[in-house]
Structure 1
Amino acid sequence: MCRVVDLRQAVLAKNDGAAQALRDELTARGTTVVNLLSSPGSGKTALLERELLLARERAVPVAALTADLATENDALRLARSGVPVKQVLTDGLCHLEAAMLGRHLDGWLPEDTRLLFVENVGNLVCPAGYDLGESLRVVLASVTEGEDKPLKYPSAFGLAQLVVVTKTDIAQAVEFDEAAFRANVERVNPGVEIVMTSARRGEGLGLLLDRALAAGTGAGTHTPVMARRQQETGHDHGSGHGPGQGSGHGHDHGHLHGHGHGGDHGSGHHHHHGPGHAHDHTPAHGAEHDHDHAHPQSRPAAQTR
């Protein structure tokens, strides 16, 4: 058991070192990374698309990298904003890691990028433990997910520097208790800001962009209590700048990822990749794309709230 724990800590320590190196490199060139975490279906792609459009209107040099297990649907949607977008297919890996992110940015990210939004794999467990070199970690939750979400996923919410509630246009219909949600967030992350948004109606539009720009200057960025405790107890392997460092030690990193290339060939054979493996694809704006591991439709998927 000790060897398993040591291995997990070693994996996280290695990631933290890579995250700090990436943070230093991007900060030196004036790029701020925003790490977006949420459950699948939270509406983060719809909100991010609106924020990217707003960034263009404000002449803010911005780019987006989106990670999924399969399909290029999110990249196709985000590319409609006209900003540089890259899709990373993880082939079953449930999170991004700093070294992976760095490899996919190399040679792709425009030099003048001021903000890079990273849409992490839809998951509130695995990504919580991995610092990506971000300056702002954002956790999103829709009004349909229940007010107790922060208590069920304390690491994800407890290490957030900003909490975003989405789909507020249907809050009344699903009887969302905002006061209860806020109280539960406060229990795991005292003092963190919570913003209410609706991509459909435009409520709260621009707040994510504003907070991201502020994080780039270091102005008023929230430091979660959980992150401070980890640093005090020696669980933070990095420099302490990233909120995710040293967290999520209960996560199993021994992944093997099987997928059938090009669909089910009937052979029963699968290809396995280690946790550092992912495929990338940069879509041309508004075009249809071919990819060995994803076959998006000619039209992007219907927009969610």
Structure 2
Amino acid sequence: MCATCGCEGDGVAVITVGYQDHDHPHEHGPEHEHPHEHAVTTLTLEQKVLAKNDELAAANRVRLRQRGILALNMTSSPGAGKTTLIERTIRELESVPVAVIEGDQATMLDARRIEATGCKVVQVNTGAGCHLDADMIRRALDALETVPGSLLFVENVGNLVCPALFDLGEAGKVVIVSVTEGTDKPLKYPHMFAAAELVLINKTDLLPYVDFDLGRCVDYARSVNPDVTILPVSATSGDGLAHWYDWLTSRLTAGISMS
């Protein structure tokens, strides 16, 4: 169990594709006589969970660096267009070998979509868990035959809260926010945007039809992360994707030493 967010880890499944309860009994009745002790215990568990995760993430990072693999942690709310963006990137960024780790609570729907591009993909189903963690990535890497020098997209579970806390060993975090979600997303989820190296504002083809202020959203994102790179794109129409591909190419050229 993750003491940070209360999600359950027992139901995790790592599934190769193609080529291969919160159980916390509490016996106290209504008269809880030691609330302060309980709070300290919870904090200690959170620290231990994150410390263990960071240790595993460091090992993942070394493993990826040794193979020259650039791993990007792709995060967003549900429905922001992560999978569509990754699908199109795989098809259009032909000169770069790509592999994908797909994170969802259940189903292999997105992994099947990625598989259809011809890309190597491993599905991680987290069960009740609301995020990927470093151990899940370690297990996925064991199952994924990743080519040295390749680009690895880790599509995290749709959630802008817990993924901000959990280092996976990636070289950088990319946040995708869509224009259908609201201008103030960076203010509502500041930790995720503060942790991002790149913010992609997706579905810009819908701007004429939604109440979304692009300039203000950019300002909000920079208010929590002044150095973040922000690119408006549409994974459907292709608008702005050339800048996304340029960013990826420059990041690959620079190597993974920036992580």
After TM superposition, the score normalised by the length of structure 2 is: 0.80
Deviation at 1:175, TM superposition (A): 2.7
* 1:167 and 2:200 matched: no
Work out which of the residue numbers 55, 71, 81 in structure 2 matches 1:43: 81
Corresponding position of 1:120:
156
Identity fraction in percent: 47
Corresponding position of 1:95:
131
Corresponding position of 1:183:
219
3-state DSSP of counterpart to 1:144:
coil
Shift in alpha-carbon separation, 1:29–1:117, aligned structure 2, 3 A: same
* 1:157 and 2:193 matched: yes
Equivalent-residue separation in structure 2 for 1:33 and 1:220 (angstroms): 8
Written as runs of structure 1 = structure 2, the 5 A alignment for 1:73-92 is 73-92=109-128
Contact 1:22 1:133 survives alignment (8 Å): yes
Written as runs of structure 1 = structure 2, the 5 A alignment for 1:45-84 is 45-55=83-93, 57-58=94-95, 60-84=96-120
3-state DSSP of counterpart to 1:123:
coil
Deviation at 1:195, TM superposition (A): 0.4
3-state DSSP of counterpart to 2:216:
helix
* 1:8 and 2:28 matched: no
Structure with more helix by fraction: 2
3-state DSSP of counterpart to 1:30:
coil
The structure showing larger relative contact order (alpha-carbon pairs under 8 Å, at least 6 residues apart) is 1
Code of the aligned partner of 2:219: A
Equivalent-residue separation in structure 2 for 1:21 and 1:35 (angstroms): 16
Equivalent-residue separation in structure 2 for 1:75 and 1:4 (angstroms): 35
Work out which of the residue numbers 195, 198, 211 in structure 1 matches 2:234: 198
Code of the aligned partner of 2:84: A
Deviation at 1:116, TM superposition (A): 0.5
Equivalent-residue separation in structure 2 for 1:101 and 1:63 (angstroms): 13
Code of the aligned partner of 1:47: L
Unaligned segments of structure 2, at least 5 residues: 1-38
Equivalent-residue separation in structure 1 for 2:100 and 2:49 (angstroms): 26
Write the deviation string for residues 93-146 of structure 1: whole angstroms up to 9, x where unpaired: 100111111111114223335110000000011111001111121001000111
Unaligned segments of structure 1, at least 5 residues: 222-240, 243-305
Shift in alpha-carbon separation, 1:135–1:214, aligned structure 2, 3 A: farther
Contact 1:143 1:174 survives alignment (8 Å): yes
Q: Name the stretch that deviates more: 155-164 or 102-111.
A: 102-111
Equivalent-residue separation in structure 1 for 2:98 and 2:43 (angstroms): 39
Contact 2:176 2:202 survives alignment (8 Å): yes
Shift in alpha-carbon separation, 1:16–1:209, aligned structure 2, 3 A: farther
Contact 1:54 1:206 survives alignment (8 Å): no
Work out which of the residue numbers 165, 169, 173 in structure 2 matches 1:133: 169
Equivalent-residue separation in structure 2 for 1:219 and 1:107 (angstroms): 24
Deviation at 1:24, TM superposition (A): 0.8
Equivalent-residue separation in structure 2 for 1:146 and 1:117 (angstroms): 25
After TM superposition, the score normalised by the length of structure 1 is: 0.69
